[in-house]
Amino acid sequence: MPAVVLLGPRQVGKTTLARQIAAQWPGGAVYLDLERPADRLRLEDADAYLRAQQGRLVVVDEIHRAPGIFEVLRGIVDERRQAGLRSGQFLLLGSAALDLMRQSSETLAGRVAYVDMAPVDTAEAAQAGIADAQLWLRGGFPDSLLASDERRSLDWRRDFIRSYLERDVPMFAPRMPAEAIGRLWTMLAHQQGGVLNQARIASALGVSNPTIDRYIDLLVDLRLVLRLRPWSGNVGKRLVKSPKVYVRDSGVLHALLELQTMDDLLGHPVSGLSYEGHCIASLVQAAGTRRVPYFYRTHAGAEIDLVLEQGGRPEIAIEIKRSTAPNPDKGFGVACDDLGIAQRYVVYPGTERFPLRQGATALGLRELAQLLRD
Q: Is the same domain home to 23 and 128?
A: no
pLDDT of residue 1: 46
Q: Report residue 355: phi and psi, to 5°.
A: -80, 150
Rounded Cα distance, 344 and 169, in Å: 40
In total, how many domains does the chain have?
A: 2
Q: Domain with 103 in it: what CATH number? A: 3.40.50.300
Q: Report residue 337: phi and psi, to 5°.
A: -65, -40
Average of per-residue pLDDT across 165-188? 89
Q: Is the same domain home to 168 and 233?
A: yes
Beta bridge partners, 292, equal: 309
Q: Is the same domain home to 153 and 96?
A: no
pLDDT of residue 146: 94
pLDDT in tens, 18-62: 778 888 888 889 999 988 999 999 999 999 999 999 888 899 988
Q: Is the same domain home to 263 and 343?
A: yes
Q: Is the same domain home to 72 and 206?
A: no
Average of per-residue pLDDT across 299-304? 94
The residue ranges of DSSP E strands in the chain, in sequence order, are 3-7, 29-33, 57-61, 90-94, 112-116, 225-228, 244-247, 292-297, 303-310, 313-320, 343-348, 354-355, 361-364
Give the residue from 90, 116, 142 where a domain finishes.
116
Is it the case that residue 173 has pLDDT exceeding 90?
A: no
Residue 92 in contact with residue 4, Cβ under 8 Å? Answer: yes
Of the pLDDT bands very low, low, confident and very high (cuts 50, 70, 90), residue 9 is: low
The whole domain housing 21 covers 3-116
**Residue 137 amino acid letter:** L
Question: Which residues does 167 contact at the CB level (< 8 Å), separation at least 6?
Answer: none
Rounded Cα distance, 80 and 86, in Å: 7
209-221 and 198-205 helices, crossing angle to 10°: 100
Average of per-residue pLDDT across 261-287? 96
Q: Is the same domain home to 98 and 236?
A: no
Q: Is the same domain home to 92 and 149?
A: no
Q: Is the same domain home to 364 and 271?
A: yes
Q: Report residue 62: phi and psi, to 5°.
A: 60, 50
More confident residue, 97 or 198: 198
Q: Is the same domain home to 159 and 86?
A: no
Q: Is the same domain home to 222 and 365?
A: yes
More confident residue, 9 or 74: 74
More confident residue, 161 or 14: 161
Give the residue from 79, 101, 116 where a domain finishes.
116
Q: Is the same domain home to 106 and 166?
A: no
Rounded Cα distance, 301 and 125, in Å: 36
Rounded Cα distance, 374 and 358, in Å: 25
Give the residue from 58, 90, 116 where a domain finishes.
116
Q: Which of 80-94, 135-149, 214-228 has the highest mean pLDDT?
A: 135-149
**Residue 222 amino acid letter:** L
pLDDT of residue 26: 82
Of the pLDDT bands very low, low, confident and very high (cuts 50, 70, 90), residue 117 is: confident
Q: Is the same domain home to 182 and 206?
A: yes
